[in-house]
Structure 1
């Protein structure tokens, strides 16, 4: 990984120099716009809508459109006096329980690595924060944008998670929230039973992007000159007419799936034992 920012965690009178890295990457299949006839790339020009001339990047400024349609043009000088932190500090503002911060606020995650001289205070703050069971609420400026963020510990590393500001969170305003919708006690109990039946420890490795995998296969088939066969689409079930019956059927299906897991594991274990026995026999014959 390559660091994208250097700065320091400011914790009281303690300064911890750190490097910042993107903690996530979008695994997506990217495409270019091309000419269907010859595969040539489609390019876009920066053209002024007033005179129709192509504009070099050096002559492009930022413009803010008013409600009247008029545009206010801002220059680099206009941005120089703004109160945006340029000290490259991650200022610790407070410490708070993690469960007090709604995940809807989180925007992007970054890893923080200590510089050589910052390793000891980094580990000190990491251990203290981890034992407290809290997260640090901080303020940081990245890419000309000041953000709130949290510092938490994951696998021995500080994770900086930038946050949205409160006025950036939309208020849900849906008509059904004002309706008096009655849920029967039996329906609630059955729904809770379904949740209990499907409850298990979360293992992210059990899930994968089936669409991306299928798309990659289509591309590979194109490259190999094979015929691309469209996958059969499964019919989506419509909304349940009898909610109680649907819940009951869901619980039964979940139970059957859960009961089948030990059998699968047993078969997998038996297969592994058979393979070990076969390997042992081959080894014995070879030594003889």
Structure 2
């Protein structure tokens, strides 16, 4: 392949990766899909491609749809042990964040809700909400009619909006202050204060540090508070599992404040919090190592500041 063709693909790699991440919820899978798109680009008769960006978007979207429809993916996600992969803010794979819709489409809460959409609904929702494609463009990408694109968009919006938590996101500084107070209540054992910092319809989801076969799910303020209090209670068993006594940091992950547990510079756990009206509306806890690889690499490069708790 000539250098011009390679340069043209590389110029759009970031946008393709951001699209693939939103569709798949996994940085590793997104990277694989982008590489497969590059191989298709390499083998294509490029002289017959009038608009390379449109061609690559269509190829990548269909590669992602194939992955979402695969038997392996359906089994993994239906088994109830799947959560989106968290990414540190600033990661180029998070893509555009100029509008509320773009930021929301990459939140862990919405990525998790999109699991309830069909693959085509998910693709239409992402192309429309996060990348502002017209229904005519989406119809061409997915080989459907404009009317079908409109219908899929409407259904996806309704399904996501019906269960969305923390939609009215505060400014980052306010959200961080809420999570700092939430963390202080969690580690101090002040259960009443912890309950007061949760919304009435709060939800919590955790991968159980990779020890559970299925995700742990909690609803009601009391159950979530009990789960959080138990999770943040230091024990020697937890320290052995983490590989040491973690330092606790607060960072921005997928556009939301997150509590990170860090041992010897390595992120061993993340709790991402959606904040609404001054309270925590949802929590997503991730500790499985294969889900933290990219976040950990970005964290090491970022030069993290002083922890809020030096040794947990």
TM-score, normalized by length of structure 2? Answer: 0.20
Determine which structure has greater relative contact order: mean sequence separation of CA pairs < 8 Å that are 6+ residues apart, divided by chain length.
Answer: 2
Higher helix share: 2
Based on CA coordinates, which of the two structures has the bigger radius of gyration? 1
